[in-house]
Amino acid sequence: MAKLTFRTDNCKGCGLCVDVCPKKVLQLAPDKINKRGHHPVEAARPDDCIGCGSCAIMCPDFIIKVER
Amino acid sequence: MIVYDKPHALLDVPLHYCPGCLHGVVHKLVAEVIDELGIEGKTIGIAPVGCSVMAYDYFACDMIEAAHGRAPAVATGVKRADPTKVVFTYQGDGDLASIGMAETVHAAARNENITVIFINNAIYGMTGGQMAPTSLVGQVTQTSPYGRDPKLCGYPIRVCELLSELEGPEYLERVTVNSIPHIRAAKKAIKKAFMNQIEGKGFSLIEVVSSCPTNWGMTPQNALKWIEEKMLPYYPLGVYKDRSNGEVKK
Amino acid sequence: MADKVLMKGNEAIAEAAIKAGCRHYFGYPITPQTEVAAYMAKRMPKIGGTFLQAESEIAAINMVYGVASAGLRVMTSSSSPGISLKGEGISYLAGADLPALVVNVQRGGPGLGGIQPSQSDYFQSTRGGGHGDYHMIVLAPSSVQEMAELTVKAFELADKYRMTAMVLADGTMGQMMEPVSLDFDVTPPPEKPWATTGTEMKRKHNIVNSLSLVPEELEKLNIARFERYEQVKQNETRYEEYMMDDAEIAIAAFGIAARVSKNAVNEARKRGVKVGLIRPITLWPFPEAPFKKAAEHVKQIISVELNMGQMIEDVRLASECKVPVTLCNRVGGMIPSPEQVLDAILKASK
């Protein structure tokens, strides 16, 4: 089982992680705004995560921790 | 098992960069390499003037802020003060290839035993999007509002190719970070650049073709595509010099 | 009495720097200071030091910045046009509170000017020379012995106050030979816990920096720096008074101009004219006290300079314009003769 943890407050909502995910696990939360004023990333389909780490590798703000 | 987490050599502070700016990706790669080589305690980084000016607040190792373009000269001083230390500079295209070109060329010519991380995103970001020495022909910027016209301001400079003509430098490679495979390759190059220094081989420069979504006026996603479609044809990826392999790309 | 050796002023600076523990020199050739670089090029490799001919004065001062960041004694030297190029780096050294030594063996200007001696960088040196609010400690030798002694002193003061110190000489001082004793006590550098020498994973990272984007913070840094400058003013102001006790006329002169003036003072005294000399040794901080005191008992002060009148402004400020201050000068690489200074004294005595 793969596990994703987000430093949500530091997310800038650029969405690069969303695009790079091969399983379309992530989305920018449409109904949430973090303290920086961005729609932060969230795992919309966490069960589909294969723990490849691509999202974390792409994230410029190192907000994603991936465990497997 | 942890697949990915923030590297230790980066402090847990928010970066000031714009959303989707790839500086953060390159910061991570440098920090991951520092972690993997176990050199944080003896590494000194030199920050430039430009968007990454505040890199000194992000890296956990000792940091020095240099005047615009002078990072290779400052790094020379730091390295000569104690050659057992690991010294890297982190510079943008305006800093390294315009105002600091003399310092860059001469540090390379001396084969100064330092590691240079060069971010080429074809624009001045910090000051709001002016033409850089690496801006492409036709590229619209604040100071080339009708597109870069070579009749007026010449052609963009290919730094790796330029430096590869020098006898001095040990290692020159151009990479990019617009996709996962490219990021993995970039990390390998950066690691080699640090290894070269540790092994006393001399000057290594990794040119990272990067983006500036804000000043390019694009979404971060389109900026990644623009790297692929516009930047890479003019700035081909690859190793331009690797003295230990006797490899010189022409 | 220690043995003396015959040395050029420029060589005395270089050897004294080595005695002071400086093992890193970065420079770029320019007349009339090139002997400093040539001397260092010979000596440094023999004592495990670094001599590096940089690609420009700009690069040289930034290499100095790097070594200073690492906490070691370090120097560069140049002459007037080269010092202008170093101005950027000197400002950054000041902004980052780094200790370093810059030697300026002045030549005539502006622009490319000439290669003969001058004192026309007085303003540039004493006001900082680069952008922003800052000072350097400026030491002005007037003999080869002082070239050596003040070089050592400059390193000590730079370390003590985390400032750039400048030895401000001129083409004559650099080129002339005199017997010099190099037997002096050197205060070793203090601990530098702020230096960027690597964390060794034992402390928080050190940052050497001059950027501060929050105005309130930058203001505080500037004020704190000037509080330190006040300490320098109180503790480190240096000057020589010569025959000032009963003087009715005072000469103000530093460096080579002071040597010439001393001869003129001696000659005038032989003729019964009560004239004395105040020789600032630190140009910044400027020795205000002796001029303030002199203004109480002299009728005129003559500022003898190798420029169009630069130190004269500080002399007027220090003497609070209580007595006339006149200029006796030559420029463009010319040096006032003792006769010219004597004439000025005799004219003032009438």
Distance CA C107, CA C60 (A): 19
Distance from CA of B133 to the nearest CA of C (A): 20
Q: What is the CATH number for A48?
A: 3.30.70.20
Q: Is residue C204 part of a domain?
A: no
Whether the pLDDT of residue C2 is over 70: the answer is no
Q: Which residues, 6+ apart, have CB-to-CB distance to A5 below 8 Å?
A: A64, A65, A67
Q: Which tokens is B127 given?
A: 């000051």
Q: Cβ of A22 under 8 Å from any chain B Cβ?
A: no
DSSP C55-107: SSHHHHHHHHHHHHHTT--EEEEE-HHHHHHHHHHHHHHHHTT--EEEEEEEB
Q: Cβ of C199 under 8 Å from any chain B Cβ?
A: yes
The mean pLDDT of C164-179, rounded to a whole number, is: 96
Let me know whether C176 and C269 are in one domain: no
* Domain boundaries, given as residue ranges, for chain B: 23-248
pLDDT digits (tens, 9 = 90+) for C233-246: 999 999 999 999 99
B54 vs C contacts (CB less than 8 Å): 211
The shortest CB-CB distance from B40 to any of C72, C201, C210 is to C201
Q: Give the mean pLDDT of chain A.
A: 97
Let me know whether C33 and C13 are in one domain: yes
Contact B180 A19 (CB under 8 A): no
Let me know whether C227 and C91 are in one domain: yes
Let me know whether C183 and C268 are in one domain: no
Last-in-domain residue among C236, C265, C298: C236
Q: What is the CATH number for C228?
A: 3.40.50.970
Q: Give the mean pLDDT of chain C.
A: 97
Q: What is the pLDDT of residue A1?
A: 77
Q: What is the pLDDT of residue B247?
A: 62
CB pairs under 8 A between B and C: 133
Contact B63 C69 (CB under 8 A): no
Distance CA C248, CA C273 (A): 8
Q: What is the pLDDT of residue C41?
A: 98
Q: Is C293 exposed, middle or buried (0-12, 13-18, 19+ CB in 10 A)?
A: middle
Distance from CA of B101 to the nearest CA of C (A): 11
The mean pLDDT of C86-108, rounded to a whole number, is: 98
Whether the pLDDT of residue C113 is over 80: the answer is yes
The shortest CB-CB distance from A60 to any of B7, B24, B179 is to B24
Binning pLDDT at 50, 70 and 90, where does residue C247 land?
Answer: very high
Q: Which of B104, C72, B95, C193 is nearest to C64 (CA)?
A: C72
Domain that holds residue C269: 240-349
B41 vs C contacts (CB less than 8 Å): 198-202
Q: What is the pLDDT of residue B249?
A: 55
Q: Is C164 exposed, middle or buried (0-12, 13-18, 19+ CB in 10 A)?
A: buried
Whether the pLDDT of residue C9 is over 60: the answer is yes
- Fold classification of B23-248 is Rossmann fold (3.40.50)
A66 vs B contacts (CB less than 8 Å): 2-5
Last-in-domain residue among C179, C207, C236: C236
Let me know whether C61 and C90 are in one domain: yes
Domain count of chain C?
2
C-beta atoms surrounding C193 within 10 Å:
9
Helix (H) or strand (E) holding C300: strand C300-305
Q: Cβ of C74 under 8 Å from any chain B Cβ?
A: yes
**Per CB distance under 8 Å, which residues of B are interface residues toward C?**
11, 40-44, 46, 53-54, 56-57, 59-67, 70, 73-82, 85, 102-103, 105-106
Domain that holds residue A30: 3-67
The shortest CB-CB distance from B21 to any of A2, A51, A60 is to A60
Domain count of chain A?
1
The mean pLDDT of A40-46, rounded to a whole number, is: 97
Let me know whether C247 and C232 are in one domain: no
Q: What is the pLDDT of residue B170?
A: 98
**Whether the model pTM is above 0.90:** yes
Q: What is the pLDDT of residue B244?
A: 85
pLDDT digits (tens), chain B, 250 positions: 999 999 999 999 999 999 999 999 999 999 999 999 999 999 999 999 999 999 999 999 999 999 999 999 999 999 999 999 999 999 999 999 999 999 999 999 999 999 999 999 999 999 999 999 999 999 999 999 999 999 999 999 999 999 999 999 999 999 999 999 999 999 999 999 999 999 999 999 999 999 999 999 999 999 999 999 999 999 999 999 999 877 655 4
C-beta atoms surrounding B18 within 10 Å:
19
Residue of A nearest to B224 (CA): A16
Distance from CA of C44 to the nearest CA of B (A): 13
pLDDT digits (tens, 9 = 90+) for C51-67: 999 999 999 999 999 99
Contact C62 B43 (CB under 8 A): no
Q: Cβ of A14 under 8 Å from any chain B Cβ?
A: yes
Residue of A nearest to B26 (CA): A60
- Strand pairing of C164-170 and C100-106? parallel
Q: Which tokens is B220 given?
A: 């971060």
Contact C207 B85 (CB under 8 A): no
pLDDT digits (tens, 9 = 90+) for C317-350: 999 999 999 999 999 999 999 999 999 999 999 8
Q: What is the CATH number for C334?
A: 3.40.50.920
Reduced to 3 states, what is the DSSP secondary structure of residue C51?
strand
Distance from CA of B235 to the nearest CA of A (A): 22
User: Tell me, what's the ipTM?
Assistant: 0.96
